[in-house]
Protein backbone atom coordinates (compact mmCIF):
# COMPACT_ATOMS: atom_id res chain seq x y z
CA UNK A 1 0.00 0.00 0.00
CA UNK A 2 1.37 3.37 -1.01
CA UNK A 3 0.39 6.47 0.96
CA UNK A 4 0.41 9.63 -1.12
CA UNK A 5 0.09 13.25 -0.06
CA UNK A 6 -3.64 13.26 -0.86
CA UNK A 7 -4.43 10.15 1.15
CA UNK A 8 -6.63 10.48 4.22
CA UNK A 9 -4.49 7.80 5.91
CA UNK A 10 -1.49 10.15 6.11
CA UNK A 11 -3.01 12.75 8.48
CA UNK A 12 -4.53 9.96 10.56
CA UNK A 13 -1.12 8.34 10.96
CA UNK A 14 0.63 11.63 11.70
CA UNK A 15 -1.93 12.73 14.26
CA UNK A 16 -2.06 9.27 15.86
CA UNK A 17 1.70 8.93 16.21
CA UNK A 18 2.25 12.47 17.44
CA UNK A 19 -0.57 12.60 20.01
CA UNK A 20 -0.36 9.13 21.56
CA UNK A 21 2.17 10.38 24.18
CA UNK A 22 -0.16 13.25 25.16
CA UNK A 23 -2.72 10.69 26.32
CA UNK A 24 -0.44 7.80 27.30
CA UNK A 25 1.76 9.73 29.71
CA UNK A 26 -0.97 11.02 32.07
CA UNK A 27 -2.82 7.69 31.92
CA UNK A 28 0.38 5.80 32.72
CA UNK A 29 1.11 8.15 35.62
CA UNK A 30 -2.39 7.62 36.98
CA UNK A 31 -2.05 3.84 36.68
CA UNK A 32 1.32 3.89 38.44
CA UNK A 33 -0.10 5.96 41.30
CA UNK A 34 -3.14 3.68 41.58
CA UNK A 35 -0.92 0.61 41.68
CA UNK A 36 0.39 1.62 45.10
CA UNK A 37 -3.02 2.46 46.62
CA UNK A 38 -4.41 0.39 49.48
CA UNK A 39 -7.46 -0.95 47.63
CA UNK A 40 -5.26 -2.35 44.84
CA UNK A 41 -2.85 -3.93 47.32
CA UNK A 42 -5.83 -5.40 49.18
CA UNK A 43 -7.18 -6.90 45.95
CA UNK A 44 -3.75 -8.37 45.19
CA UNK A 45 -3.63 -9.76 48.72
CA UNK A 46 -7.00 -11.41 48.20
CA UNK A 47 -5.66 -13.11 45.07
CA UNK A 48 -7.39 -11.08 42.36
CA UNK A 49 -6.22 -11.78 38.83
CA UNK A 50 -4.63 -9.11 36.67
CA UNK A 51 -7.69 -8.82 34.45
CA UNK A 52 -9.96 -8.34 37.47
CA UNK A 53 -7.58 -5.69 38.85
CA UNK A 54 -7.64 -3.82 35.55
CA UNK A 55 -11.38 -4.16 34.97
CA UNK A 56 -12.68 -3.49 38.48
CA UNK A 57 -10.04 -1.33 40.19
CA UNK A 58 -7.78 0.46 37.69
CA UNK A 59 -9.99 1.28 34.67
CA UNK A 60 -12.84 2.96 36.60
CA UNK A 61 -10.32 5.25 38.30
CA UNK A 62 -8.46 6.05 35.07
CA UNK A 63 -11.67 6.67 33.10
CA UNK A 64 -12.06 10.19 34.53
CA UNK A 65 -8.58 11.12 33.33
CA UNK A 66 -9.36 9.87 29.84
CA UNK A 67 -12.75 11.63 29.81
CA UNK A 68 -11.08 14.91 30.79
CA UNK A 69 -8.29 14.54 28.23
CA UNK A 70 -10.63 13.67 25.36
CA UNK A 71 -11.99 17.19 24.57
CA UNK A 72 -8.55 18.76 24.96
CA UNK A 73 -6.85 16.26 22.66
CA UNK A 74 -9.77 16.59 20.22
CA UNK A 75 -9.20 20.35 20.02
CA UNK A 76 -5.47 19.94 19.41
CA UNK A 77 -6.17 17.25 16.82
CA UNK A 78 -8.59 19.53 14.96
CA UNK A 79 -5.96 22.26 14.82
CA UNK A 80 -3.36 19.78 13.56
CA UNK A 81 -5.67 18.41 10.89
CA UNK A 82 -6.52 21.91 9.67
CA UNK A 83 -2.84 22.82 9.58
CA UNK A 84 -1.94 19.65 7.67
CA UNK A 85 -4.78 20.25 5.19
CA UNK A 86 -3.69 23.87 4.74
CA UNK A 87 -0.17 22.64 3.94
CA UNK A 88 -1.60 20.12 1.40
CA UNK A 89 -0.54 17.11 3.47
CA UNK A 90 -3.96 16.31 4.88
CA UNK A 91 -7.41 16.19 3.32
CA UNK A 92 -7.43 17.20 -0.33
CA UNK A 93 -10.22 18.59 -2.52
CA UNK A 94 -12.94 17.57 -3.29
CA UNK A 95 -13.11 16.48 0.38
CA UNK A 96 -13.83 19.35 2.74
CA UNK A 97 -11.63 20.48 5.60
CA UNK A 98 -11.28 23.81 7.34
CA UNK A 99 -7.62 23.86 6.34
CA UNK A 100 -8.37 23.37 2.64
CA UNK A 101 -11.10 26.04 2.78
CA UNK A 102 -8.63 28.50 4.32
CA UNK A 103 -6.08 27.59 1.65
CA UNK A 104 -8.67 28.18 -1.08
CA UNK A 105 -9.62 31.52 0.45
CA UNK A 106 -6.03 32.68 0.75
CA UNK A 107 -6.03 33.91 -2.85
CA UNK A 108 -9.33 35.71 -2.28
CA UNK A 109 -8.24 37.42 0.93
CA UNK A 110 -8.38 40.96 -0.53
CA UNK A 111 -11.57 40.57 -2.57
CA UNK A 112 -13.65 38.21 -0.38
CA UNK A 113 -11.99 37.87 3.04
CA UNK A 114 -14.87 35.92 4.56
CA UNK A 115 -13.90 32.85 2.50
CA UNK A 116 -10.72 32.52 4.56
CA UNK A 117 -11.81 34.19 7.80
CA UNK A 118 -15.02 32.22 8.39
CA UNK A 119 -13.33 28.79 8.73
CA UNK A 120 -10.56 30.35 10.83
CA UNK A 121 -13.10 31.83 13.21
CA UNK A 122 -15.01 28.53 13.25
CA UNK A 123 -11.81 26.68 14.21
CA UNK A 124 -11.09 29.18 16.99
CA UNK A 125 -14.62 28.98 18.41
CA UNK A 126 -14.67 25.17 18.26
CA UNK A 127 -11.28 24.83 19.96
CA UNK A 128 -12.29 27.32 22.63
CA UNK A 129 -15.57 25.48 23.23
CA UNK A 130 -13.77 22.12 23.52
CA UNK A 131 -11.27 23.59 25.99
CA UNK A 132 -14.07 25.04 28.12
CA UNK A 133 -15.86 21.67 27.94
CA UNK A 134 -12.70 19.89 29.08
CA UNK A 135 -12.26 22.29 32.01
CA UNK A 136 -15.90 21.87 33.00
CA UNK A 137 -15.68 18.08 32.87
CA UNK A 138 -12.48 18.19 34.94
CA UNK A 139 -14.14 20.40 37.55
CA UNK A 140 -17.15 18.09 37.67
CA UNK A 141 -15.22 14.81 37.88
CA UNK A 142 -12.11 15.70 39.89
CA UNK A 143 -12.86 16.13 43.58
CA UNK A 144 -9.26 17.19 44.30
CA UNK A 145 -9.65 20.23 42.00
CA UNK A 146 -12.57 21.46 44.10
CA UNK A 147 -10.48 21.27 47.26
CA UNK A 148 -7.65 23.29 45.71
CA UNK A 149 -9.89 26.12 44.55
CA UNK A 150 -11.03 27.03 48.08
Residues in the chain: 150
Q: What is the mean pLDDT of residues 57-86?
A: 87
pLDDT given for residue 149 in this prediction? 53
Q: Is the pLDDT of residue 148 over 60?
A: no
Q: Where are the domains of the chain?
A: 9-149
- At 28, is the pLDDT very low, low, confident or very high (cuts 50, 70, 90)? very high
Which pLDDT score, from 0 to 100, does residue 68 have?
82
For Cα atoms 10, 15, 19, give the angle at the middle one, nearest 5 degrees: 155
DSSP letter string, 25-49 = HHHHHHHHHHHTSHHHHHHHHTT--
Maximum Cα–Cα distance for the chain, whole Å? 73
Model pLDDT for residues 76-135, shown as the tens digit of each residue: 888 988 888 888 877 777 778 888 888 888 888 888 888 888 999 999 999 999 989 888
> What is the model's pLDDT at position 122?
93
Amino acid sequence: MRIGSGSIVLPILIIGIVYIPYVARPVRGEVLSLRRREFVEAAIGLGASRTRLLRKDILPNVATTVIVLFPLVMAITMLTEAALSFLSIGVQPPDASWGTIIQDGQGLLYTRPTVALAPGIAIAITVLALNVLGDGVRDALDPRAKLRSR
